[in-house]
Each structure stands twice: as C-alpha cells, then as structure tokens.
Structure 1
C-alpha cells in the first residue's frame, strides 16, 4: 500500500471502475438528473435516473484515463462558462515555466469554481492541470469523494479533532505535496486559507505555508519554497453567486458569535456556485516567488500583495466602495467615472441595485463589504509598494 493512498487522486488504472461505481450511485444520478431536468425530475426522477445512467455509460465507455476524462469534461465546463458568466479571461501565463510543475496558491471565493477556472485557463494555454486540494468536510457522501478524486483532487483532512491526528495529517499532506511536485512532476492547486474569504478579504494563512515545509523541516525554508515554484493566483469574479448567503452568515456570526451550518448547506453552495451568474471572471498567474522572504510571515505578506495587486476590479467593486462606511478614506481610490465608461457603470449599477434589493437591510453592510474589500486591499497594497 502506498503511503498516500488515503488522500491521493485516483490513477489512470482506477478510472474505469470508479466511473462504473459513480454510474451505479443513486445520489449521484439524482443530482445529475436534477441538473439536466430541473422540473421533470421533481415528478419523474425514478424514470429519468436509469435513462441518464445509460446515456452516461455510452458517453464514458471509452474513458480510461484522467486526461481523457478531463478532455470530455471540458465541454461541460465551457457550457457552464457560457451559461453562468459573461466570459473568462486569463493573464500571467508567461510567468509559468513550461514543462515544470508549480504550487499554485490561490485566493478562495468558490468551493468548486476556483480550481475549475484555474484548470480551464491552464488547459486552454496547453499547460498541465494541477492536482487539487479539497477539504474532507466537503466529501461526506461517497460519490462526491469519487467524483473529486477521479478529477485529480486529493484530500485535506480538516475534520480531525485531536492535536496529534492533525499534526500527522499535516505531515502526510506536506509530504504528498512535495512528492507530487518533486517526484511525480505534477502541479498542485491549494487555497491560501482554509475556507472561503466570505468578507472579500484575501489573506494567506501562515499555517498553510508552514505545512509546505513540515516534511522537510531540516532544510532551509526559502530553499524548500523555491523548489516548489510557489505561484500565487488571483481569481476575480465580477459577481459572486453566493454573496447573499455569505452576507447572511457574516451577519449571524457578528451578532451571535458563531454560525452553524445546516445539513446540505455546502451542497447548496456548491450548486449555486456552479450555476449562478458570475458576470466576468479573470484568472491571473503571478510570478513565481522564490526570493525576498525569510519566514512564513514575510512570505504570506508577499503573496497577499501580489494577489491584491492582480485582483481584477470591476465597476461593482467601486460602487460598493463608495457605499462602504468602514472604508479607509486616506487611500487614493479614484472615482468610478475615472476608471470605467458610462455604459459599463450603468450596467453595473442595475445589477448591483438588484442584489441590494434582494438582500435584507440588516445584511447589506456585509454584502457591501464583500465587494468593497478588494478595492481597499489593492490600493492599500499599492501604497505600501510605492
């Protein structure tokens, strides 16, 4: 048994059997049926499920490798992009070393679509797609685990309670990431912090950076990070499909001190994140970070500055900034009219007003903060670097 079997993605020789298992899973087939036939599935799910299963078996019968599966999935990703966005753009590809694996460390706004958009950008640019870190809290049902691991995802154990178990899990995760990049020559995607930045404040957790070094702690920290080709990635959404849900959670947490997720809440967030309207999406690959830092604190600061600088701000961010009562008035943020043309502003005003109207009055400060925070971070970061 390989030491990484409990967390690694599935290999090519496991693909066929995993697909067969998925196509026999009623929960999986029910979700596909609801997605394909949202109305009819309410009444005829029992009839549609076997039809969907048979169609998928025919479509996937020749799939016997992870790369073949990803090529097949590309059309579904493109369909999602065309239906739920106004287009995806990407930049910074020139910063990547062709044929070399990278450790992509990205800001985190959406559970599924963050790595999906990074994958899509790399796939379109003819770069290998990375292995994707996903928390075990999202893998409560067997079919979800199968679905993610067959698509190059590996498991991050977050639900452990004892300190010893957590340390062992971190050591295994660190060893796997280093092994993947240095031995397997496979890139890694991982979020800069545990959990989504629900308040729009993208910040790197030092614990993530310490974890990269944990399995090689006898080596110099800067050397270890340099060997992994750590590459910050800034993922920008014009609109967040889950913004109202995030505002509600932030309001409850601020007023009660805690927030307890309801059963099925993660599933609902995943579905809304995939199908909900996002406006324009931009993915930027920052330069590889391999110098100018001594420790995790220095490195986290450099990563944050890069992600803040290269986050693509849209008109809605400036509209929210103008309304945000907690904004830093000392920052030199230009008026929206200096940045965007009249038509673009007008279109954004209509969509922003629609979202504000849909948001309960007491939740609105938290909705505004989500969109205003990236403005504050970018201009504050620019001031620090000038």
Structure 2
C-alpha cells in the first residue's frame, strides 16, 4: 500500500485480475454494443452482447500487463484514425529528449482523443506513453474506471466534499505528479484547466499550475521546483470537432438560460461521439520545455503555457472561415465563400446555436492574433 493507491494507474501485477473483472462486466458489453452497432443495439442487443463479449475475450483475454493492453489498442486506434480523420500530423517532438520525463500541459477539446493522439504520437516516435489525468466525474461506472486506470490514467478527485478534503486531495495529486516525473521518470498529461474548452478559448487556469507546487517544501525556491517538472505546453487542433453541436448547446443554456444540467450518461455519449465522429485533419504541436525561466508565481507559468499553445495552434480553413463568417455576416446561413462541409454542419443546427458553434472555431484565430 502507498499513499497513491486510490488514484494511481494499475500496475502490471494488478492487470490480470482487472481484465478478468472487465471481461465479465455486462455494462461494458452493453456500452460496446451501443458504440459499435448504434443502429442495432436497441433491437438486437440481446444477441450482439454475447458476440461482443466473445470478441473482447479473444482480443484482451491474454493481456498480462499495461504494455500488453496498450499494444492491443494500437491496431484499434489505427483503424479509428483512418475512419475518423483526414490525416494526423505532429510537430515539435524534435525538441524533446526520449530519456527524460515531461509534464505535458495541453489545451483540451476531447475527453478521450486528446490524450489518445498524444499517446499515439509518442509511441510512434519511440517515447514512453503518458499517465493521463482524468476527473472522477467521468468515472460514473466501475468498468470505465478500470479501463482508464489499466490504460495509465490516474484520478483527479473533483467530487470530494469540503474545503479541507479538497486541499488534501490536491496535495496528494501534486505529490503524485512530482513523484511520477522525478522519481519514476514517467510522462504525465494533464489539461490546462478543468473540462473541455467549449468556447474554443484555450486559457490555462493558474490554479492547475498552483496544484503542481502544492507539495513543494517551503525552503525550496518556486522556480527550481517548476523547472524540475519539465513542463511542456501542447496544442491540439481539430479541423472539425465531432462534439461541437453538443458543446454549443451546453454553452447556450449556460449563458442564455441560466444553467445547464447534463443528462444521464451524457459524458459517455460525448466520449463515443468524440472517438468515432469525423474530425477532418488533426495536428498536435509539442512546445519547448519551460526549463529556462525563473518563474516567480503560478500566473507567470500559466501565461507562458498559453503563449506557446496559441502560437503553435494549427489553424485550419474551418477556423479562419468561421472567424470571418461570425464577424462579417453572422445572420446568414452560410455565405457562398463558406465551404460546403462547414456550412452544412452549422446550418442544420437551431439558429440560436449557430453563433456558439462558429465561436468554437473562430476563437482560436483571436487567440493566435493576440499571442502574436
């Protein structure tokens, strides 16, 4: 037992028991059927679930450690990228050292695919994959927690009650991140703020940076401790966001109707749509490690992360066209110069949601202009 047992990823010796538990889980089979056969699940689920269970046993029944599990995911992820993207490109990995561990701080568009693209690019270029920070609000079912933790995820406990308890969990998380990087030489991925950027504005929450140093010994200079973490900003850009309409609806209700309450299993639906939905081109940019600066506080670090993310962010035609559309003719349902795919994507939504969809793409242009 260690102080991190309730939040850390599963270790190799724990994996066989976890896999046996997963392969018997009926909720996992139901979810897999709904994801793989959305048009047939309601009527033929009773027939498909045993078949999917057999497939899962054949595919994952002999998994004995974390590397086994991730190797088996590689083929599936390859097919997923082929079906849901028009190409995936990476830049900036030449700035990094394969022998070092980094704390990757990324903008956040998709619950699963952001770290999946990160892991894919690192794996293909000979780097170790990352330990992924995931909020406990997404672990509504036991099988989801098991899957995430066997895939090197660690838990961010956001739902704990009480200020004192939240501080204790934040200190534990801080200690775990530092321990992973400095003691275990393990890469970490964490989003720059809680939740996805549903408005397309990528801004680091200084409180996230503050959490990194919560466990810093008082005599230790702040700048030294931050340098030791090897923070690397990362920017991921999607030509099309499969969840843009869902995000627009949530944003509209929050701003125009005073609040939004998520439906049952809405996060699971977002995960499924984000994984299988069309993304067009995707680009992942790795920045320069923040190891050459004498940062004095969390805000300075957050500003440095944002500056790199905004400058590195790959703008596609969807971003630039949405920016022009939103500012030049927001009342039109797609001027002649708007590409058909973007026009159809926006125009099929309710009129009140269209500006919120356009803003998700257009705000990246604003951020890059401001950074320059």
**Normalised-by-shorter TM-score class:** over 0.9
Shift of residue 364, structure 1, vs aligned partner: 1.3
Deviations 1:122-174 (A, max 9, x none): 01111000100000000010000001000000000111231001100100000
Task: From 355, 358, 368, give the equivalent of 1:365.
Answer: 355
Partner of 2:302 in structure 1? 300
Distance 2:326 2:222 in 1: 40
Partner of 2:177 in structure 1? 177
Partner of 2:339 in structure 1? 349
Distance 1:319 1:154 in 2: 38
Distance 2:248 2:273 in 1: 15
Partner of 2:370 in structure 1? 380
Deviations 1:257-279 (A, max 9, x none): 32211112111111111111100
Partner of 2:332 in structure 1? none
- 5+ residue gaps, structure 1, are 328-344
Q: What's the TM-score, normalizing by structure 1?
A: 0.91
After TM superposition, the structure 1 = structure 2 runs for residues 141-220 of structure 1, keeping only pairs within 5 Å, are 141-218=141-218, 219-220=220-221
Distance 2:195 2:234 in 1: 16
Shift of residue 184, structure 1, vs aligned partner: 1.2
After TM superposition, the structure 1 = structure 2 runs for residues 1-386 of structure 1, keeping only pairs within 5 Å, are 1-218=1-218, 219-292=220-293, 293-325=295-327, 349-382=339-372
Shift of residue 201, structure 1, vs aligned partner: 0.3
Distance 1:260 1:51 in 2: 35
CA RMSD after TM alignment: 1.6
Shift of residue 58, structure 1, vs aligned partner: 2.2
Distance 1:58 1:115 in 2: 26
Distance 1:326 1:104 in 2: 37
Shift of residue 326, structure 1, vs aligned partner: 9.8
Shift of residue 217, structure 1, vs aligned partner: 4.3
Q: What's the TM-score, normalizing by structure 2?
A: 0.95
Worse overlay, 194-203 or 60-69? 60-69
- 5+ residue gaps, structure 2, are 330-335
Distance 1:136 1:174 in 2: 16
Preserved CA contact (<8 Å) 1:136 1:155: yes
Partner of 1:336 in structure 2? none
SS at match of 2:213: helix
Preserved CA contact (<8 Å) 1:112 1:273: yes
Preserved CA contact (<8 Å) 1:33 1:52: yes
Distance 1:89 1:252 in 2: 35
Preserved CA contact (<8 Å) 1:222 1:291: no
